[in-house]
């Protein structure tokens, strides 16, 4: 009976022990709970426990928001250049000592480039005449640096005592008599009835020519006090009369019935006054011209520039017509003097400090730094993620093929990868970057293509 009772109690006791053991095992709920989590949840829990990873995720999200949504709200574009008005030293005028002859033609005459070239050639060869096409010219010194150029028109020729008229209308008996007398006396010219006749000689005969004023070649510079007088001052009649007055050391000369007086300052500078005693023109050997040909430079300004150059000074101050005091500087480059002044100019606003308009300021190209960072970050992020995606895609395919087939295929693929890994990374990047710069490929277009 005892054995029966023991046998009856044993299953119940075993069940109790099993229940106790099961209950004891259920106390290990934490371990069991971890074991039943999915791999994704395991990664997530470990990720959120890593503070550095969480901070990196927020930074990455901020960068994506900043780069891809920021340009939508930015009032500027990535290529927009900001400009402003600033002071800049700019060339206002130029000056130089005149070393080239200036030509002033008589009314109704022409003296072009071909004639000027032949004149300079004859002048260099110490000649006194030259020919262009069918025209013969002669020139005479009116001063040390002034030459009167005339055109000769042949009206007769003489071979011995035989005279042959070429222009019978201009060759009278009186002219013939004077012509023969000039030949016999060895003269090269004579004057009759206010007409000057000049003798030249060819291979066989003497030629009688009448003179016609064509041009004046001079080194002198005349500046008008009033802009409306410029054309008159540059007329041949005014220039030749003034030149002769200076050559003959006279203080007056007459042009078209108006008397002009001269007050000399030195050998190269003088002031010419008109009939009413007002300053009319200034004579000098220094040319002063504005950079902008639409600007008229007054004689006072030109004289100030000349005095500054003559006194070997590099700056001066001048009061303009609006009584504004302006500072000028003079820079010499070879034989040219450049007169500069501070001028309001539209300039690119570079390296500006942060402001309410541009939170991070402007760069060296005058572009908004914040906007440039947005577009630059967009390219960098896209390139990084696309590269990772391509690497994962290629790696999965090659790894899958290698693992599935194994053997010689696995070995061949691994050696091929080792070949690529042996190529230095940074030199390849530098080469690709230089190629893109040479081809002028934009980063965004290269990425999108």
Please tell me whether residue 354 adopts helix, strand or coil conformation: coil
Per-residue pLDDT, 400: 92
Secondary structure (3-state) at 169: coil
Enumerate the domain spans of the chain. 2-36, 74-80+355-448, 90-96+286-348, 101-219, 225-284
pLDDT of residue 89: 86
Q: pLDDT tens across 146-198, in order?
A: 999 988 888 888 887 788 888 888 888 888 888 888 888 888 888 888 788 88
Q: Are 88 and 347 a contacting pair, CB within 8 Å?
A: yes
Task: Look up residue 16 and give its two tokens.
Answer: 């109790």
pLDDT recorded at residue 83: 92
**Rounded CA gap, 153 and 210, in Å?**
5
**Given this model, what pLDDT does residue 13 score?**
53
Pairing of strands 189-192, 195-201: antiparallel
Nearest in space to 338 (alpha carbons), one of 89, 93, 90, 99:
93
Model pTM score = 0.59
Q: Is 148 helix (H, G, I), strand (E, B) or coil?
A: strand
Q: What is the pLDDT of residue 65?
A: 92
Report H helices in 50-148.
Answer: 51-64, 70-73, 113-124
Spatial separation of the C-alpha atoms in residues 134 and 111, rounded to whole Å: 14
Q: How many CA atoms lie within 13 A of 379 on its CB side?
A: 12
pLDDT at 36: 57
Element (H, E) at 344: strand 336-348
**pLDDT digit of tens for each residue in the chain (449 aa)?**
445 455 555 555 555 555 555 444 545 455 545 455 677 888 888 888 999 999 999 998 999 999 999 999 999 998 999 998 888 888 999 999 988 899 999 988 889 999 999 999 998 888 878 888 878 888 888 877 899 998 888 888 888 778 888 888 888 888 888 888 888 888 888 888 878 888 887 777 888 888 888 999 998 889 999 989 999 999 999 999 999 898 888 999 999 999 999 998 887 889 999 988 899 999 998 999 999 888 888 889 999 999 999 999 999 999 887 888 899 999 999 999 999 998 888 889 999 999 999 999 999 999 999 999 999 898 888 888 888 899 899 999 999 999 999 899 999 999 988 888 888 888 888 888 888 888 877 765 555 55
Taking the C-alpha atoms of residue 303 and residue 284, their distance in angstroms, rounded to an integer, is 9
Backbone phi, psi, residue 138, to 5°: -135, 155
Q: Which of 285, 255, 49, 295 is nearest to 145 (CA)?
A: 285
3-state secondary structure of 259: strand
């Amino acid at each position: 009976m005892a054995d029966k009772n023991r046998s009856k109690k044993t299953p119940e006791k075993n069940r109790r022990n099993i229940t106790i053991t099961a209950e004891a095992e259920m106390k290990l709920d934490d371990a069991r709970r971890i074991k039943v989590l999915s791999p994704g949840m395991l990664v997530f829990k470990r990720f959120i426990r890593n503070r550095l990873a969480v901070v990196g995720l927020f930074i990455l999200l901020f960068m994506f928001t900043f780069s891809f949504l920021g340009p939508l709200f930015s009032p500027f574009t990535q290529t927009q250049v900001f400009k402003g008005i600033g002071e800049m030293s700019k060339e206002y005028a130029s000056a130089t000592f005149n070393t080239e002859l200036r030509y002033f033609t008589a009314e109704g005459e022409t003296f072009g480039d071909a004639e000027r070239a032949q004149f300079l050639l004859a002048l260099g060869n110490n000649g006194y005449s030259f020919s262009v096409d069918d025209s013969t010219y002669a020139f005479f010194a009116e001063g040390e640096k002034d030459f009167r150029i005339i055109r000769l028109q042949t009206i007769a020729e003489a071979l011995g005592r035989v005279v042959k008229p070429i222009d019978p209308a201009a060759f009278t008996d009186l002219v013939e008599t004077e012509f023969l007398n000039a030949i016999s006396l060895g003269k090269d010219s004579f004057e009759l009835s206010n007409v000057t006749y000049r003798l030249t000689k060819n291979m066989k005969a003497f030629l009688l020519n009448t003179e016609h004023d064509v041009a004046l070649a001079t080194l002198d510079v005349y500046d008008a006090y009033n802009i409306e007088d410029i054309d008159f001052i540059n007329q041949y009649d005014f220039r030749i009369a003034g030149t002769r007055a200076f050559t003959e050391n006279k203080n007056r000369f007459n042009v078209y019935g108006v008397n002009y007086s001269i007050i000399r300052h030195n050998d190269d500078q003088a002031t010419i006054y008109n009939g009413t005693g007002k300053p009319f023109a200034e004579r000098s050997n220094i040319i002063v011209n504005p950079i902008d040909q639409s600007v008229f430079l007054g004689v006072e300004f030109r004289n100030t520039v000349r005095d500054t150059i003559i006194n070997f000074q590099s700056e001066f101050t001048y009061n303009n017509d609006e009584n504004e005091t302006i500072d000028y500087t003079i820079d010499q480059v070879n034989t040219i003097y450049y007169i500069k002044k501070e001028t309001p100019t539209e300039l690119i606003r570079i390296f500006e400090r942060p402001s309410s308009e541009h939170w991070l300021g402007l760069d060296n190209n005058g572009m908004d730094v914040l906007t440039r960072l947005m577009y630059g970050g967009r390219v960098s992020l896209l390139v990084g993620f696309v590269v990772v995606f391509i690497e994962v895609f290629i790696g999965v395919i090659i790894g899958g093929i290698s693992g599935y087939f194994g053997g010689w295929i696995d070995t061949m693929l691994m050696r091929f990868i080792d070949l690529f890994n042996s190529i230095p990374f940074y030199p390849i990047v530098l080469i690709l970057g230089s190629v893109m710069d040479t081809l002028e490929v934009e980063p965004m277009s290269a990425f999108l293509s």
